[in-house]
Amino acid sequence: MDIPAGPTLYAYPWDLTGPTPQAVAERMAGLGIGSVTLAMSYHAGKFLRPWASGARVVFPEDGVLYFDPTPALYGRLQPQAHSDPAQRRLADELAPHVPLRAWLVLMHNSRIGATYADLVMRNAWDDPHVYSLCPSHPANREYALAVCRDAASRPVGELVLETPGWLPQAHGYHHEFAQVRSNLWLETMSGVCFCGACKARARSSGIDADALAAWVRRRVDAYLDAGIDAEPDQAAAWLAADLLAVPELTALLALRQDIVLELVREIRAAVDPRQKVWVIPTVQRPTAASWVEGSALAALARAADGIEVPFYEPSASRVAADAWDVLQRVGDGSRVRGILRPGPPDLAGGAELAQALASLAGMGIGAEWLGFYNYGLLRRDRLEHMARTLASQAKGKE
């Protein structure tokens, strides 16, 4: 299925199962949307639906597929399909009416992580982060590859991969508590994986992972015991200094990027070349911090068909600055797509969305394609504002 040029709207299955497929198609056309980027492998959460006719708050099933999987594709980790047949059928039913893209969350899976403690990210203290499957583990890579191959066999024109790497220390996990002020240095040190698979990869690259983990523990333990709070500029300087002073830390962070690249290349090679594969490289702000998750922007953009960057910023000026930097790093605008949130906490002002769109268009982003997040989360007035802004810009090009 070809995906037309023009805007796409990210959407969850539970927001599209009520109306008929024809009604969904009409609604999308009315909003100026050319395709739907549908969550087909997703994680747990709590989602407020401001205009839904059904449940106002949804707690989705954790780590499930929104289609009937093909068990033979999978190995040690078997998939779990959503319990609602209507949500599992949605892609097949929508596809004849609306061009679809499969939005696939990969390593963010607390359901699997809580069951297989040996497969999750572990920090320098060997604490398991159950929400983050480690991409160094062959079983996790096999599962991610199978999900992508399975989803690609459905009537979708493109795949969008989210979380192909490690999730950060601060993630918003259920009842995530801390009474220590966060900063970039502390988050980075606490979020590096030292699981068995990562240590083995490190050793094969000449990195003494055990010694490095011990160094991280000493540094962080001393900070937590010191009774001080680093300001953001201080923490950023500490991190830069540590990266220069401890070459093995820099080498391990670079190795993480190689591991993620390997996985994305495997997925790209396994999927029909007629189906494009795009990667959401990060949830970090600004995007240049994507290395925290193991994402190398330029290399990822070439390992797949490109990267789809969430420019989730509160102002058009910040969107423009972030997009400029991404383009400088990637060097090829055809491999960069953008996603905007046209509502709180981003671009809530009346003119902000139009200004952001104009800035991106001036850089060559969004002229043929642009994503918006998220159909069920945006209030009705924000959806309509998005539609009016898109219509106004289209008219201006005539």
CATH of residue 184: 3.20.20.80
In percent, how much of the chain has pLDDT > 70? 98
Token representation of residue 206: 């000449």
Any idea which residue has 């994507």 for tokens? 290
Smallest Cα–Cα separation from 285: which of 255, 261, 321, 328?
321
The answer to whether residue 184 is domain-embedded is: yes
Is 393 a residue whose pLDDT tops 90?
no
Mean pLDDT, residues 171-199: 88
Smallest Cα–Cα separation from 68: which of 83, 56, 53?
83
- pLDDT for 398 equals 61
Is 397 a residue whose pLDDT tops 80?
no
Smallest Cα–Cα separation from 235: which of 199, 283, 184?
184
d(Cα 291, Cα 326) in Å, to the nearest integer?
A: 13
The answer to whether residue 1 is domain-embedded is: no
Contact present, 268 and 240 (Cβ < 8 Å) = no
Instruction: Using alpha carbons, list the distances in angstroms from residue 262 to 155, 164, 255.
Output: 26, 10, 11
- pLDDT for 3 equals 82
**What are 64-120's pLDDT values in tens digits?**
999 999 999 999 999 999 999 999 999 999 999 999 999 999 999 999 999 999 999
- pLDDT for 255 equals 98
**What are 370-381's pLDDT values in tens digits?**
999 999 999 999
Is 171 a residue whose pLDDT tops 70?
no
d(Cα 387, Cα 249) in Å, to the nearest integer?
A: 47
Is 153 a residue whose pLDDT tops 80?
yes
The answer to whether residue 24 is domain-embedded is: yes
The answer to whether residue 31 is domain-embedded is: yes
The answer to whether residue 205 is domain-embedded is: yes
In percent, how much of the chain has pLDDT > 90? 88
The answer to whether residue 218 is domain-embedded is: yes
Contact present, 166 and 134 (Cβ < 8 Å) = yes
**What are 264-311's pLDDT values in tens digits?**
999 999 999 999 999 999 988 899 999 999 999 999 999 999 999 999
Smallest Cα–Cα separation from 136: which of 282, 262, 283, 279?
262
Task: At 232, give phi and psi (nearest 5°).
Answer: -55, -40
Burial of 149 from C-beta contacts in 10 A (0-12 / 13-18 / 19+) = middle
3-state SS class at 378: coil
d(Cα 391, Cα 385) in Å, to the nearest integer?
A: 10
**What are 109-151's pLDDT values in tens digits?**
999 999 999 999 999 999 999 999 999 999 999 999 999 999 9
Is 169 a residue whose pLDDT tops 70?
yes
The answer to whether residue 82 is domain-embedded is: yes
Our measurement of the distance from residue 374's CA atom to the centroid of its chain's CA atoms, rounded to an integer in Å, reads 13
- pLDDT for 1 equals 64
**What are 30-70's pLDDT values in tens digits?**
999 999 999 999 999 999 999 998 899 999 999 999 999 99
Residue type at 396 in one-letter notation: G
Confirm whether pTM is higher than 0.85. yes
How many distinct structural domains can be found in the chain? 1
Q: What is the 3-state secondary structure (H, E, C) of 246-292?
A: CHHHHHHHHHHHHHHHHHHHHHHHHCCCCCEEEEECCCCCCHHHHHH
Q: What is the dihedral of CA 130, 135, 141, 146, to 10 degrees?
A: 60
- Contact partners, residue 328, CB within 8 Å, separation at least 6: none
d(Cα 67, Cα 82) in Å, to the nearest integer?
A: 7
The domain containing residue 390 runs over which residues?
6-397
> 10 Å Cβ neighbour count for 310?
22
**What are 186-245's pLDDT values in tens digits?**
999 999 999 999 999 999 999 999 999 999 999 999 999 998 999 999 999 999 999 999
- pLDDT for 178 equals 78
Is 179 a residue whose pLDDT tops 90?
no
Quick one: which H or E segment has residue 374?
A: none
